[in-house]
């Protein structure tokens, strides 16, 4: 009969390795309890891991678009507010024109109102959000409208003064303005003046905006225009109406010619009010589409999240039981190791 021996060292070494494995399993179990998710998805799901990776990528994409939509929606709100101010100012200006048309102090009243309205229009069109100009089209880095009242004289104002001088042979502040009859002024407004608010003069002297609006992806499958620009016909008509009554020398005109100028300004302003409403409606449609896209993506987000949870989630009760069991096993191993370490032949020698 052959006898073999087992040393306390080999027993201790076996217990040490066993405890190490138990500690690793305990760490994973504790992680699952705290996160509610498999500690090692790849190890647990094997070949199905690629499915959860794809689902998480899609979820990340949806969340990214949703976050972007929040910024786009805020930019649209700012644009709507600015356009609302432009429309309100134009509506008020229209009332001023009607009231001042036949009034003795009409020229001074409308001239002041036009100057104020033009400043307000420029400020509104140069509105920024997040450091970008919301009415610049895709050219968001430059103020869309040039300051008409800048010093030295701006190019757009100088162009109007030069056009007046070339057409009539004298400046708008010349007393000879009183000799201009209504038909002459109407002809100037409808031809020479109007050309200053069309291309190429508009882009050369007035606007730095791009005709191409900003496009945004509002869902996985939708890309839409999400801006307006200062080149819109509504803005040109308002700029024309305001500058007419600011710099055509209305203070020196006869009452009949002044009334003719006011009539043209009323026409331009009335049309512009309607055109501004159209721009607001277009932006409103974009806002509504973003709201619907967000709702759709939220539903998709919930579906994907549920699928991921179904694959990666762990039973919290089962995980807690495993933690308790593993801790018990580790404590037992520690106790056994302590007893083995106390085993020595010296205890049996007399």
pLDDT of 97-118, one tens digit each? 999 998 889 999 999 999 999 9
pLDDT of residue 1 exceeding 50: no
Q: DSSP label at 219?
A: S
- The reply to whether 146 falls in a domain is yes
- The reply to whether 13 falls in a domain is no
Tokens encoding 296 = 């759709």
Average the pLDDT over 122-138 and give the result.
Answer: 96
In 3D space, the residue among 254, 198, 271 whose CA is nearest the CA of residue 231 turns out to be: 198
Range of the domain at 245: 54-303
Write the pLDDT tens digit of every residue in 136-151. 999 999 999 999 999 9
CATH number of 274's domain: 1.20.1330.10
For 254, the enclosing helix (H) or strand (E) is none
pLDDT of residue 330 exceeding 70: no
List, in sequence order, every residue forming a beta bridge with 133; answer none if it has no partner. 128
Query: 9 CB contacts (<8 Å, ≥6 apart)?
Result: none
Query: 302 CB contacts (<8 Å, ≥6 apart)?
Result: none
- The reply to whether 144 falls in a domain is yes
- The reply to whether 41 falls in a domain is no
Write the pLDDT tens digit of every residue in 261-282. 999 999 999 999 999 999 999 9
Instruction: Write down the pTM of the prediction.
Output: 0.79
In 3D space, the residue among 166, 74, 113, 346 whose CA is nearest the CA of residue 82 turns out to be: 74
pLDDT of residue 126 exceeding 50: yes
- Beta strands (DSSP E) in the chain are 128-129, 132-133, 215-217, 223-225
φ and ψ of 128, to 5 deg: -120, 155
- The reply to whether 45 falls in a domain is no
pLDDT of residue 67 exceeding 90: yes
- The reply to whether 327 falls in a domain is no
What is the length of the chain?
350
For residues 249 and 176, the answer to whether their CB atoms sit within 8 Å is: no
pLDDT category of residue 92 using cuts at 50, 70 and 90: very high
pLDDT of residue 228 exceeding 80: yes
Query: 212 CB contacts (<8 Å, ≥6 apart)?
Result: 137, 138, 229
Name the more confident of 294 and 348: 294
- The reply to whether 11 falls in a domain is no
- What is the C-alpha to C-alpha distance for residues 28 and 322, in angstroms, rounded to an integer? 10
Q: Long-range contacts for 111-116 (Cβ within 8 Å, ≥24 apart)? A: 111/245, 111/246, 111/250, 111/251, 113/245, 114/241, 114/242, 114/243, 114/244, 114/245, 114/246, 115/149, 115/242, 115/246
In 3D space, the residue among 6, 2, 3, 19 whose CA is nearest the CA of residue 343 turns out to be: 6
For residues 242 and 227, the answer to whether their CB atoms sit within 8 Å is: no
Total number of domains constituting the chain: 1
- The reply to whether 71 falls in a domain is yes
Tokens encoding 345 = 């032949």
Report pLDDT for 69.
95
């Amino acid at each position: 009969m052959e006898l073999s021996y087992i040393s306390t060292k080999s027993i201790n070494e076996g217990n040490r390795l066993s405890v190490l494995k138990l500690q690793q399993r305990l760490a994973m179990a504790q992680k699952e309890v705290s996160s509610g998710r498999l500690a090692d998805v790849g190890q647990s799901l094997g070949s199905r891991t690629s499915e959860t990776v794809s689902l998480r990528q899609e979820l990340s994409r949806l969340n990214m678009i949703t976050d972007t939509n929040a910024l786009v929606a805020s930019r649209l709100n700012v644009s709507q507010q600015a356009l609302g101010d432009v429309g309100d100012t134009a509506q008020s200006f229209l009332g001023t024109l009607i009231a001042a048309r036949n009034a003795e102090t009409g020229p001074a009243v409308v001239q002041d109102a036009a100057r104020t309205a033009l400043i307000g229009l420029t400020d509104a069109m140069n509105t920024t959000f997040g450091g970008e100009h919301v009415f610049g089209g895709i050219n968001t880095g430059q103020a869309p409208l040039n300051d008409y009242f800048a010093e030295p004289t701006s190019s757009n104002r100088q162009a109007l003064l030069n056009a007046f001088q070339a057409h009539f042979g004298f400046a708008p502040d010349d007393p000879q303005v009183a000799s201009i009859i209504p038909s002459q002024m109407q002809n100037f407004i409808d031809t020479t003046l109007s050309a200053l608010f069309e291309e190429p003069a508009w882009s050369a002297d007035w606007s730095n905006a791009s005709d191409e609006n900003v496009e945004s992806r509002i869902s996985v499958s939708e890309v839409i225009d999400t801006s307006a620009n200062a080149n819109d016909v509504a803005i040109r008509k308002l700029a024309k109406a305001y500058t007419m009554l600011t710099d055509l020398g209305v203070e020196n005109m006869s009452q009949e010619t002044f009334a003719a100028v006011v009539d043209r300004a009323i026409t331009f302003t009335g049309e512009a009010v309607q055109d501004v409403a159209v721009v607001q409606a277009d932006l409103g449609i974009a806002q509504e589409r973003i709201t619907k896209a967000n709702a759709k993506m939220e539903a998709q987000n919930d579906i994907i999240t549920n699928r991921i949870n179904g694959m990666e989630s762990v039973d919290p009760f089962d995980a807690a039981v495993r933690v308790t069991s593993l801790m018990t096993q580790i404590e037992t191993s520690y106790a056994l190791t302590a007893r083995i370490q106390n085993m020595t032949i010296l205890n049996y020698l007399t």
